[in-house]
């Protein structure tokens, strides 16, 4: 079985399991779990923040961040495809009473600065009060440049707004930009931002957990919100140990996932080029990190997916329509449990189809 559905499907390595087994634990709600405390301190130091908070999921750390930055009736500017807007069950509105203001993306994954600025509401009782700008990096596998991150932060500062990075795959962005020193690059990407959510259970390979980073005062507020949302944990050091191991040992190895994604993209491109009748019916999109999108004509898609499944290759997909035809977009994600051999086997299956 080669599971390309997501980097959330990774299983703990033997070394990670040993770290979990040996974890020193306490009651984290009392602040007494030494492994949780060490994880939070390590992450804060790595990314240049005063403090951090460990929570069960990235959906929760994002919601905690937005509820810590905003009050009822405030507004957060987000992207149409941001996880915080599209994939988190409407939590900011349902649980936080925060109005999302979604904006369209540019082709490179950014939101135009002019569109962000135009969406900021005037100080008028007719409008929700714009309070927060949220950015996602990476977004759909696309890496947002350091220059852009700084421009958004400067724009927010001019308007007195708070800022949050959904950095579920922030280290993927950092590795893509600076494979020699991704920790320093991640610090630069997050520099001067008010908060960052960092997922431990995606490319970093931990079985569960995310971190929220910010100032000490912000994390103090966030801890109260985490409790309100049911995210207080007791002897959480068992899972925190996996996250700590991931930060210490799995950041640089993300480059392997990126290399495997490039191998997959290049191989798919060669297969399409070698079959002229597929012109316009299949496209392998460029890859920047560990996520690749492959479009195939809807008339072929179901047979293609059944073929992959029969070969033990798992992917996710969804339909859309372009100007000419209905297509299915297939998402391939490389990760800790996908090897170069898995990629080669997948390419052989595609070629056979």
According to the model, what pLDDT value does residue 294 have?
97
Cα–Cα distance, 278 to 259 (Å, whole number): 26
Using 50, 70 and 90 to split pLDDT, how confident is the model at 318?
very high
According to the model, what pLDDT value does residue 321 have?
87
Q: What tokens were used for 330?
A: 């297939």
* Percentage of the chain modeled with pLDDT above 90: 97
pLDDT tens for each residue of 205-230: 999 999 999 999 999 999 999 999 99
Cα–Cα distance, 9 to 347 (Å, whole number): 21
Non-local CB neighbours of 169 within 8 Å, separated by 6+ positions: 7, 137, 138, 199, 202, 203, 289, 290
Q: What is the pTM of this model?
A: 0.97
According to the model, what pLDDT value does residue 325 have?
84
According to the model, what pLDDT value does residue 323 have?
80
Domain 2-248 has CATH 3.50.50.60: no
Mean per-residue pLDDT, 237-265: 98
Domain ranges of the chain: 2-248, 254-352
The CATH number of 254-352 is 3.90.1150.10
DSSP letters spanning 295-347: EEEHHHHHHHHHHHHHTTEE-EEEEEE-SS-EEEEEEEE--TT--HHHHHHHH
Q: For residue 275, count other CB atoms closer than 10 A to its CB.
A: 12
pLDDT tens for each residue of 20-43: 999 999 999 999 999 999 999 999
């Amino acid at each position: 079985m080669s599971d390309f559905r997501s980097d959330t499907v990774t299983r703990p390595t033997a070394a990670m399991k040993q770290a979990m087994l040996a974890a020193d634990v306490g009651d984290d709600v009392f602040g007494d779990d030494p492994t949780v405390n060490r994880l939070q301190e390590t992450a804060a130091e790595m990314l240049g923040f005063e403090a951090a908070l460990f929570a069960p999921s990235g959906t929760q750390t994002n919601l905690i961040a937005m509820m810590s930055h905003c009050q009822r009736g405030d507004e957060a500017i987000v992207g149409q495809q941001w996880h915080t807007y599209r994939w988190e069950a409407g939590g900011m509105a349902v649980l936080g009473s925060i109005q999302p203001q979604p904006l369209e993306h540019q082709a490179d994954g950014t939101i135009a600065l002019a569109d962000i600025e135009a969406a900021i509401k005037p100080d008028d009782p007719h409008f929700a009060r714009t309070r927060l700008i949220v950015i996602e990096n990476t977004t759909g596998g696309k890496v947002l440049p350091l220059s852009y991150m700084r421009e958004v932060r400067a724009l927010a500062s001019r308007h007195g707004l708070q800022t949050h990075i959904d950095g579920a795959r922030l280290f993927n962005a950092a590795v893509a930009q600076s494979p020699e020193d991704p920790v320093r690059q991640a610090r630069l990407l997050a520099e001067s931002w008010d908060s960052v959510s960092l997922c431990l259970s995606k490319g970093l390979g931990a079985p569960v957990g995310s971190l929220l980073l910010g100032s000490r005062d912000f994390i103090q507020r966030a801890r109260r919100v985490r409790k309100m949302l049911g995210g207080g944990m007791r002897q959480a050091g068992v899972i925190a140990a996996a996250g700590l191991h991931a930060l210490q040992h799995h950041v640089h190895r993300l480059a392997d996932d990126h290399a495997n994604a490039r191998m997959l993209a290049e191989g798919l491109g060669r297969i399409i080029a070698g079959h002229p009748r597929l012109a316009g019916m299949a496209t392998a999109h460029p890859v920047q990190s560990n996520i690749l999108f492959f479009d195939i004509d809807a008339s072929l898609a179901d047979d293609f997916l059944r073929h992959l499944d029969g070969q033990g290759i798992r992917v996710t997909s969804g339909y859309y329509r372009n100007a000419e035809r209905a297509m299915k977009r297939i998402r391939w994600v490389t990760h800790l449990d996908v090897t170069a051999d898995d990629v080669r086997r997948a390419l052989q299956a595609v070629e056979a189809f």
